[in-house]
Amino acid sequence: MSLPLTIALWIVLAVGVGIAAGIAAVVGHLSGRLARGWTDESAARAANVVTLGSAFVAGLVIWLVVGASADVESVISPESAVVAAVVAAVAGGVTAGVVGAAAITGFARPRPDLPGVGEPATVRRQYARYLSVLFLLVLLLVAALEPAIRAGPLAIGGVVAAVGVGLWVLGPFLLVVSSSTRAPTDAERERLKRVLGAAEFHPRSVRILEGGDEYVSVRLLGAPGGRTLFVSSGALEAVDDETVCAMVTTRRAQAAYYHPLAVVAVLVAVTVPAVATVTGDLPVPVGLAISAVFVLGGLWAIRRLRLAADDRAAERVGAEGLATAFERAADAAGFDLEGNPGRNWLSTAPAFSTRIERLRARSEAASDRE
């Protein structure tokens, strides 16, 4: 294939990505307008669905087009299948980042009070970087699964489980690569030392997540013995030590319940029937029905694990104290807890209001017993 034709075809793909980004921005804008009257949590869930959905569709299409073109030497002419897989994954990952960033930008324009959303330029960079890295890794994984696909659904389930555990172990490294992080300043280090001392918890390392004042988050990633605590700069600026301590304690309790492994189990449970459907081992209606049941049931189980982790954290900091900490964190992040949060069947986390009400009920029950 001639070089001019190759360049022309890549230009066509770039134009296609631009059009997809424009469509995603319009869809995001319309969704944001529709979400104006929704609660903050419902709007945030809708924003995630629109953003990830747009990124997934666009990234998948470009990945398939580039991969197919590589196979017939119409866009690129790699010396090996490995080069073709990498190029296709990079193209799909970059596309997902660009389109996802356009979608969240469009959503945030009519809903500028969306929790965690600050300056549009900052939001675009954050989403573009995170989604690009995420989809690049996923698409490389899919390409690596080809031998397992030939071996059957059970082999794929085993590979997905192994990769999931690997991602669990490498979670801190992946977040550093896909997000903006830094080491704590001397003042932040001293403050976090007091907080972690109060929580009686000493992770392997601590990193600060840069996301703007609106971004209030505490994450604990990695396997036991190698866990890294990520605290957003917004959390350190917006809430007191007691609230940060409660958030750390909750994350620690979630890690103790092997919440990441539950996510891996759901992925495996969904992947096996999905692949069996694609390969023809299961009728399409049966495969889709089984996958849907596993998705909804798995997400329900993960939400129950989070509630159980809340109970465990409440044993350390008190149910009332934890409920108050959740309220402070939600207020600092801009979440309005008033109103019905709606259904969250496709979420891994129960609604903030549900968790707070449950903790308050637990506190009142304990007071009545006394």
- Label residue 232 left, alpha or beta by phi (over 0 means left) and psi (-120 to 50 means alpha): beta
DSSP-derived letter for residue 202 is -
Q: State how far the Cα of 310 lies from the Cα of 354, in Å rounded to an integer.
A: 11
Q: Check if the beta carbon of residue 217 is closer than 8 Å to that of residue 235.
A: yes
Q: How sure is the predictor about 231, in pLDDT bands with cuts at 50, 70 and 90?
A: very high
Residue 146: in which H helix or E strand, if any? Answer: helix 146-151
pLDDT at 211 over 50: yes
Q: What is d(CA 252, CA 255) in angstroms, rounded to the nearest whole number?
A: 5
Answer for the pair 310, 359: CB distance below 8 angstroms, yes or no. Answer: yes
Cross-strand bridge partners of residue 232: 209
Say if CB 234 and CB 216 are below 8 A apart: yes
Residue 52 has pLDDT above 80, yes or no: yes
Tokens of 40: 């903050």
Can you tell me the distance from the alpha carbon of 236 to that of 91, in angstroms, rounded to the nearest whole number? 37
Consecutive H or E run containing 207: strand 205-209
Q: Is the pLDDT reported for residue 72 higher than 80?
A: no
d(CA 217, CA 346): 21
Cα dihedral 103, 105, 111, 112 in deg (nearest 10): 160
pLDDT of the residue at 104? 92
Window from 50-59, 301-310, 329-338 with minimum mean pLDDT: 329-338
The torsion angle over the Cα atoms of residues 228, 229, 232 and 237, rounded to 10 degrees, is: -140
The average pLDDT across 127-144 equals 83
- As a whole number of angstroms, the distance between CA 306 and CA 160 comes to 23
**81 band by pLDDT with thresholds 50, 70 and 90:** low
Q: Is the pLDDT of residue 135 over 60?
A: yes
Q: Are 232 and 175 in contact (CB under 8 A)?
A: no
The predicted-structure confidence for 25-49, as pLDDT tens digits, reads as follows: 999 999 999 988 787 777 888 888 8
Examine the pLDDT at 221 and tell me if it is beyond 50. Answer: yes
Highest mean pLDDT among 72-86, 148-162, 267-281, 303-317: 303-317
pLDDT given for residue 306 in this prediction: 87
Task: Show the CA angle centred on residue 32, arms to residues 122 and 120, nearest 5°.
Answer: 15
Instruction: Parse the chain into domains and list their residue ranges.
Output: 3-144, 181-369
pLDDT score for 189: 92
Is residue 147's pLDDT more than 80?
no
Extract the tokens encoding 306.
């989070």
Q: How confident is the model at residue 366 (pLDDT cuts 50, 70, 90)?
A: confident
Q: For residues 268 and 257, give the distance between their C-alpha atoms in angstroms, rounded to a whole number.
A: 18
Point out the least confidently predicted range of 71-75, 222-226, 228-232.
Answer: 71-75
End-to-end Cα, the chain, rounded Å: 81
Q: Give the distance between the most distant pair of CA atoms in the chain.
A: 83
Q: Which pLDDT score, from 0 to 100, does residue 75 have?
A: 46
DSSP H helices in 222-283:
233-238, 241-256, 259-278
* C-alpha 361, offset from chain centre: 30
Pairing assessment for the beta strands 205-209 and 228-232 based on DSSP bridges: parallel
- Written as six digits, the tokens of 106 are 């469009």
Name the residue with tokens 């398939």: 64
Instruction: Tell me what pLDDT residue 299 has.
Output: 84
pLDDT, residue 159, reads 75
Give the C-alpha separation, 277 to 285, whole Å. Answer: 9
Task: Note the pLDDT tens digit of each residue in 282-325.
Answer: 787 887 888 888 888 888 888 888 888 899 899 888 899 899 98
Q: Which residue has the tokens 């997934």?
A: 56
Asked if pLDDT for residue 190 goes beyond 90, the answer is yes
Q: How far apart are the C-alpha atoms of 317 and 242, rounded to whole Å?
A: 9
Residue pair 108/120 in contact by the 8 Å Cβ criterion: yes
